Every structure is written in structure tokens, then in C-alpha cells.
Amino acid sequence: MNRRDFLTTATVTSASLALTGCNESQRQAIDYSKHPQSKDIQTKKVNFNKNKKTIIKLATSWPAHFPIMGVGVERFAQRLKDISGGSLEIKLYPKNVLVPALAVFDACSSGQIDAFHSGPYYWKGKNSAFSLYSGIPFGFTAEEINSWMLFGGGLDLWREQYAKYNLHPFMGGNTNIQMGGWFRKPINSLEDMKGLKMRIPGLGGEVFAKMGVNPILLPAGEIYSSLERGVIDATEWVGPALDIKMGFYKAAPYYYSGWHEPGSILELTFNKKAWKNLAFEHKSMIEVASSEMNSNMTYEFHAQNIQALQTLQELNVNIMQFPKEVIDAGKLALNEVIAELSAKNKDFQIVYNSIENHLKLSKQWSDTSLRYFLNER
């Protein structure tokens, strides 16, 4: 699709309101409350030269061509090149090419790169509130967290807190519900969890720590070898589609259903100064393409997971559920973690209160509608 086609066909989006030729007074009158991701786009139009190329350096936490997540970013880059008529180019740097996988936050904050694709919970050491933007144990599904982000105030809070680090985030995908992890030995009781060395990030890791697990943060490339050599006893990753490609079933044959990440946001985050300096048209195109990437990744995870589950069953993988005492202990541990982090960090408390209010209403609606339907189906 060339730029002219984009300008013609994208009139249903917030970006199109500016791109289809409205004058300055009309642009100022746009009701951005109906298009939450558009609120930040500067209304004063920057001179736009379609013949001048803008290049954005974007690093990821994933290997090149990594299924769904890495490929999704590659499609995003191509999409922007297409709809901009070649005037906007995303130059991609997979993990460890320009910066290490878990150094993209700092590199973008300092301006070494213009943008990155990763997961917010990796940066909880900067601010514990950041882990909440990825999702919480026993919390939001993918649909619920998207609704909170766009229409429940989540995106505003996220951007306000990231701005302190010179960053400006967008939703960049969702893994959908994740599995509970691969274990070298079966979990028959809460006692079996104690002392386990497990790769698990975010709030899930802190909850598991309360249950006696030793959580360890490892980048993707080190997980399998660590599991195979016994450096770790268990790992969670994502779900069947990606887990089967990692080969975890060869080293840890017990695969558990999960509750630690029922819907997990991925991020597309820009250096704030670099974002501000982009032309209005380019910002609008990024908004549209990032929204598309966010949706497509979510649906692709679902589509590939349902196929990969069949393969795992054919491989005779032991697909299991945690004992009730482990689940009950997890809920108690979550309450302790929330209380402790809320007491230590006002940002965390503010974000969690927003989540709790939205989730309470969402549970009522889901119990009335979706739970009924799934039980009947």
C-alpha cells in the first residue's frame, strides 16, 4: 500500500482525521477521548517532506525472525515503510546486535536507540509499578488489559511514569494467556515448590518467591541450556506455540496450566525526544501500525497455540494443573506482594488501584456473560 492509498482508506482512524486534509482549527477540535492512543500526537503539524527519509533505530529483546514477537515487529516495520511511501524506515536490531536483550530500556532512555520492543515487567527494578503494565497473576485477560489500557486509564498512567525516563510507550502485542511452566519433576504439593530454581519474571516471580521458589531472570537464548544442565529446575516462557520451538519438553516433561500471566502486554516504546521530533504524519502512521501489531500478535498467539497444543499431545507431553493448595497459596502470596509493594511505592499503589477498579467491573461482566457461555458450550 502506498502513502496515497493510506491517506484515502484510513479515514476511520484517529490518524486519518489529520491526514485527510483538515485545517488547523479542525485538528484542534478532534475528540481524542475516542482514540486514546492519539491523545499525545502533537496537534501542531510539523513540515512533512515525503521525499526525505526518516530512519528510526529500533532494538528488540528477541532474536532475529523470532516467531510471532520478532516477526511481528518485522511486519510492523514493513507496514510503516509501505504506508509512508518509503519516507519512514524502521531499522531493526535484534537482541545483542546493537544492545543486549535486557538493556534496551536504558539504551532508549539515553537516546542510544530511538525505540525498542520488549516487555514492561523486565524493568520492575526501575519502578515496581512497571510490572503491572504487563499484567498480574489471577488478573486481566488479554481483552481486559487492552480495555483497561485504552479506556480505563492504564495507558495514561504508563506514559506518565515512563516519561520520567524519557520514554513514550505503546502497546506492542499481547501473548494472550500463558502457561504455568515446564518442570523437571512433577508438582504434587506446595512442598514441591520450595527451593526450586525457576526462570520467571515480573510479579509472577515475586508471587512464586513467596511460595518458596527462587525466581531467576534469563534471556530467551539461555533458558533451554540452563534447564537441560540443571542450572534451573523449571521455566515459564509463553505458551505452546513458542515453547515447543524452544524444545523445553525435551528437558522438563511436566507442563502446567498457568495463572501468573493470563494476558501479558508487550511494548513498543520510543525515546521521548525522538518521538517528539517525528512529523505529525509519521506519528499517526506509527499509531495505526502499532495498533494493528498489537491486535495481530494477540490473535496469532491464539491461532498458533491451539495448533501447537495438538503437537504437544502427540509428543505425549504431560499437561498438568497445579494442586489446589499451590493455587490457594499463590492467591495469598499475591495479596502479600501487592500490599508490600503498594506500601513501598506510591506509583505501584496508584496503578494497582486503577487495575483493581477496572478488574472488579470486568469480573462481574465476565461472570454474567463469558463464564455462562463457556460453561454451556
Q: Which residue has the cell 500471566?
A: 261
User: Domain coordinates of the chain in residue numbers?
Assistant: 3-174+264-303
Separation between Cα atoms, residue 118 and residue 330, nearest integer Å: 26
Separation between Cα atoms, residue 190 and residue 53, nearest integer Å: 58
pLDDT of the residue at 38: 56
pLDDT of the residue at 105: 98
Strand order in the sheet with 197-199: 214-216, 197-199, 234-235, 181-183, 254-256, 318-320
pTM, full prediction: 0.85
By DSSP bridging, strand 181-183 and strand 234-235 are: antiparallel
**331: three-class secondary structure by DSSP:** helix
| 130 half-sphere exposure, CB direction, 13 A CA radius | 22
Mean pLDDT by 10 residues, the chain (377 residues): 43 38 38 53 54 93 94 98 97 96 97 98 95 96 97 98 98 96 97 97 94 90 93 97 96 97 96 98 98 97 97 95 98 98 98 98 95 94
pLDDT of the residue at 29: 37
Separation between Cα atoms, residue 128 and residue 14, nearest integer Å: 32
Domain 3-174+264-303 has CATH 3.40.190.170: yes
Burial annotation 347-376 (CB, 10 A radius, 16+ → b, else e)? bbbbbbebbeebbeebeeebeeeeeeeeee
What's the grid cell of residue 278?
517525528
pLDDT of the residue at 60: 97
